[in-house]
Amino acid sequence: MAISIGDRLPSTTFMILGENGPEAIESDGYFAGRRIALFSVPGAFTPTCSAKHLPGFIDKAAEIKAKGVDEIACTAVNDPFVMGAWGRSADAIGTVTMLADGNGDFVRAIGLEMDGSKFNLGTRGQRFSMLVRDGVVEQLNVEAPGDFKLSSADHMLATL
């Protein structure tokens, strides 16, 4: 069953690529006491994700944060090296935190995984965005397969 508004995020571990290599980020501590705009993409460097989704949140970051958001984070079922490289190539570092969900534990725990095997991608996360306040889902926007509307930075900004 998929996570819903009002639900607490499950305890999972993300990875980021820090200055000294991969670093574990525990979700409970990461989301605690903060309001975070989190968005999920099916994969780093994929067409819509690279051309629209991540760039939209980079471009709108200041406006989103001005509405009371402490941090913006992107997650994908990719390893921390890929997420780090994608963040650097998109000039997202320092604006959007790139959270690797390499084994898909997070998206599986919230019930928002998808089967990308038709495209040789295996299990991935659905395209979605959520606003999380102190670990609780405040807003949830899950896209229909192939769509890119509800999870965009523009949509999130309009609903803040």
Which residues make Cβ contacts (< 8 Å) with residue 51, sequence separation at least 6?
A: none
Which residues make Cβ contacts (< 8 Å) with residue 154, sequence separation at least 6?
A: 56, 60
**Three-state SS across 107-139?**
HHHCCCEEECHHHCCCEEECCEEEEEECCEEEE
Q: Which residue type, as a one-letter code, is found at position 126?
A: Q
Rounded CA separation 102/82 (Å): 10
Residues with a catalytic annotation lie at: 49
